[in-house]
Amino acid sequence: MRRTAAVPALAALLLGALATGPSAHAATKSDHGRGVRLRVMNYNIQAGAGSDHVFDLERQAEAIESEHPDLVGLEEVDVDWATRSDYTDEATWLARRLRMHVFFAPIYDLPPDREGAPDRRFGVALLSRFPIMYAKNHDITRLSTQVPDPVPAPGPGFPEVLINAHGVPLWVYVTHLDYRADPGVRQAQVADMDAIMDRRHGRKLLLGDFNAQPDDAELAPLWTRLTDAMTVVGQRTTPTWPADTPTTRIDYVTYSKRSGIRTVDAHVPDTLASDHRPVVTDLTAS
């Protein structure tokens, strides 16, 4: 696994040149003239496959587009990874299709498995209708799925992105926590994320697939600093996985407490475009 360095904002903005207009639900200034109202989505896209395990990235683009989000956290994003996703650069494809800026943060960056092909990468991404002012891919504790007999070790895949939403700066983070039954790695990851986010002042959003339910002990430290948008609207346990018969809540949109961010509404769309259902929230930031 190759370590990825900080990525200048200019590189992240190159794809964003294609973002030419607002969506039907584009972020607007609040009714009171202070701050903005924005729609935030989190979606684990299972490398482009639906709950039927058929690769169909257009189906997922339509699921995202139908909600008109301003920000989208994506997990399980393939970039030239394997035949399962036709070696598609999913981050670039979705950014162009949805006319959004993008920052992709690989968890794995491996040599190609075909002569003359680019590196194989897999990770998380942020789509944004706002300019990306700064972006960096941080290390947190990982337990690799790509090596035999792995041990917990620092690895990339925790992006920190600064956006400017109509003059309101927001620090946005996207995460995909360890999926294993033993919570030990997730506990370490929560501590690592908390330390990274604590370096920044101001408004912060943490989006992701936490692979844990809201009341699981390993997530408890997050709730001392962050608010879960679904909890605010009384949907703390509304399930998001598996998409066809959801039983478990593991997907989140959260934000820093006492930072001027508030929940207006939140819901979980009924879609089978992935094996997860997305979480969609309407927030105000002032």
Report pLDDT digits (tens) over 105-116.
Answer: 999 999 999 999
Position 30 scores a pLDDT of 53
Task: Tell me the C-alpha distance between 270 and 87, whole Å.
Answer: 28
Position 29 scores a pLDDT of 63
What is the separation of C-alpha 130 from the centre of its chain, rounded to a whole number of angstroms? 15
Position 35 scores a pLDDT of 80
Intervals of the chain under pLDDT 70:
1-34
Task: Tell me the C-alpha distance between 20 and 154, whole Å.
Answer: 38
Position 2 scores a pLDDT of 37
Helix (H, G, I), strand (E, B) or coil at 64: helix
Strands 101-110 and 132-142: unpaired
Written as one string, the DSSP assignment of 240-252 is: -BSSSS--B--EE
pLDDT tens sequence across 154-194: 999 999 999 999 999 999 999 999 999 999 999 999 999 99
